[in-house]
Amino acid sequence: MRKRAWKHRLSAPEAGLPEPLYVPPNPEPEENIQHSLFGEILDWMLAPLLLLWPMSIAITYLVAKSIANQPFDHALEDRVTVLAQQVREENGIITTRLPGSARDILRADDIDSVYFQVVDAAGRHVDGDRELPRPRDDEADKDGAVHFRSAALHGNLLRVAYLYINLDPLAPPDSNSPAFPRKALVQVAETLDKRALLANEIIKGVILPQFIILPIILALVWFALSRGLSPLAELQERIRARSSDDLSPIDSRQVPEEISPLVGSLNDMLGRLSQTIDMQKRFIADAAHQMKTPLAGMRMQSELALRQLDPDEIHRSLEQLAKSSESATRLVNQLLALARAENQPHAGLAFEEIDLAALARGVVQDWVQASFAHRIDLGYEAQDEDVNIAGNALMLRELLSNLIDNALRYTPPGGSVTVRVRRDGDAALLEVEDTGPGIAPHERAHVFERFYRILGSNTPGSGLGLAIVREIAGQHGAEVDIFNNPRTQSAKFPGSLFRLTFPPPVNDAIDAT
């Protein structure tokens, strides 16, 4: 493989320039206001009630006035009817037959002032109060029925009942033609004090009890809301009563139907948290178990070197110590890589559009020197076109590095390892093939398990490389398949072909970051 000359750009300290001061960002303080569910529900219940209450008072006042007008209007109608019956025409002159006692009865009222008026067809005043306003032209309904209107006299509002009566008994009641011009106007009016008093009494009888009922309603709403939210308090107490290591699901049968989705979400979170804790515990246990062997070997070699006096023996012990430390370092790095892969949620990966061919070419270049040390021909093949996928470049480099390392370890000297990137329809394929001993079909389902080693394999390793490959591939939605190398004819070394099939990039997956 041809080597590429890489240019190195000097950093600021290397170029003799002062490093720029790092100014930490000054994030704006976020407003964190805790809202009360009880208070919000209470506001939404009481606010309409308090807004509708003044409207109810206004409507009650209008209805009370209407109710108060009805009986007094009937009494006023009776008065104007009785007065109309006392109007007579004698020798072309209109008169009223009202003795003094009748006038006193007509005007008798302990609260209101009562006025009456009789006007002939020519508009001349006949009897009663001259200053009482007469109907306007648009109010002069001469149909023989009693009508009502509002007027004012001496600054007081009046309720007026008026009636047009026929002076000619032969004229029809609704006649308004010049042939029948003889109609007289009879009016009876009174002030509105009794009506106002009755309306006020009705309002007092209706509104005053509301001042007693409203606090009772508020108290009942408060009590009902407290009782309605009590399941939340009970759920809170049940959760607080749990031990710190109890991650079992919450029983959703003991909560109301409206809280069941919340409890279901909490159970899902507890399940994910339990899974994460189990993974961490398993990782710690596996790391402790796997680190015992290299650490014990390093300790033994160091103690042996301390007891040796022969420089050659000391040198051999130090060589073994160096190999053990290298093995321990590789084990630690792979454990950390596996932990990063397992603890990286799918939604947390920074996916972007990546040229898989360029990424694979760079990883292969990093392993060229290691292939020289193993005396293995490391090659790279790719199509001319770009092969783009959606993924995380750092994790994909870790995946391919483990595949190449696994191939170099199991391929004998003089063999070859080939990395290939190509496109199959919309899918992108990443292949790593070697000329090693291959993997038996019944072993292929197990080689991706952590710390699994094929029996009879004397190649040093931790058994974590392919587990890392499977974890990263799953996070990228890729499928991993193992085949025999189709380009190898040797029965002893059939070789292996690891093929990863990546789905085409999706814009939503790329923009999720």
Q: 132-168: per-residue pLDDT in tens?
A: 998 887 777 767 789 999 899 888 899 999 998 886 6
What is the pLDDT confidence band of residue 20, given thresholds at 50, 70 and 90?
A: very low
Tokens of 474: 């799953």
Q: Do 430 and 500 meet the contact criterion of CB atoms below 8 Å apart?
A: yes
Q: Which of 273-287, 396-410, 449-463 has the highest mean pLDDT?
A: 396-410
Q: Confidence class of residue 23 from pLDDT cuts 50, 70 and 90?
A: very low
pLDDT category at 188 given cuts 50, 70, 90 is: very high
| β-bridge partners, 417 | 378, 434
Name the token pair of 419.
């990395």
Highest mean pLDDT among 197-206, 275-284, 318-327, 334-343 belongs to: 197-206
* Gap between the Cα atoms of 322 and 177, Å rounded: 134
Read off the pLDDT of residues 91-104 as tens digits, 9 standing for 90 and up: 778 888 777 777 77
Per-residue pLDDT, averaged over 219-241, amounts to: 82
How does DSSP classify residue 350?
A: -
Angstrom distance (rounded) from CA 492 to CA 485: 12
Tokens for 215, please give them: 């606090």
pLDDT at 170: 45
| Rounded mean pLDDT, 27-32 | 54
pLDDT tens readout for residues 247-298: 888 887 777 777 788 888 888 888 888 877 877 777 676 666 656 666 777 7
The per-residue pLDDT for 501 is 93
Q: Looking at the whole model, is its pTM more than 0.85?
A: no
Domains of the chain, CATH where assigned: 59-198 (3.30.450), 255-340 (1.10.287.130), 348-511 (3.30.565.10)
Which residue in 68, 59, 80, 67 sits closest to 194, CA to CA? 68
**What is the C-alpha to C-alpha distance for residues 297 and 320, in angstroms, rounded to an integer?**
9
Q: What is the pLDDT of residues 471-491, one digit of tens each?
A: 888 888 899 998 988 888 777
| Residue 267: exposure state from Cβ atoms within 10 A (0-12, 13-18, ≥19) | middle
State mean pLDDT over 43-69.
79
Percent of the chain whose predicted confidence (pLDDT) is above 70: 78
* pLDDT above 50 (res 513): no
CA separation for the pair 394, 433 (Å, rounded): 22
Confidence of residue 340 (pLDDT cuts 50, 70, 90): low
* Max avg pLDDT among 89-93, 185-189, 463-467: 185-189
pLDDT for res 461: 56
- Taking the CA atoms of the chain, what radius of gyration do you get in angstroms? 52
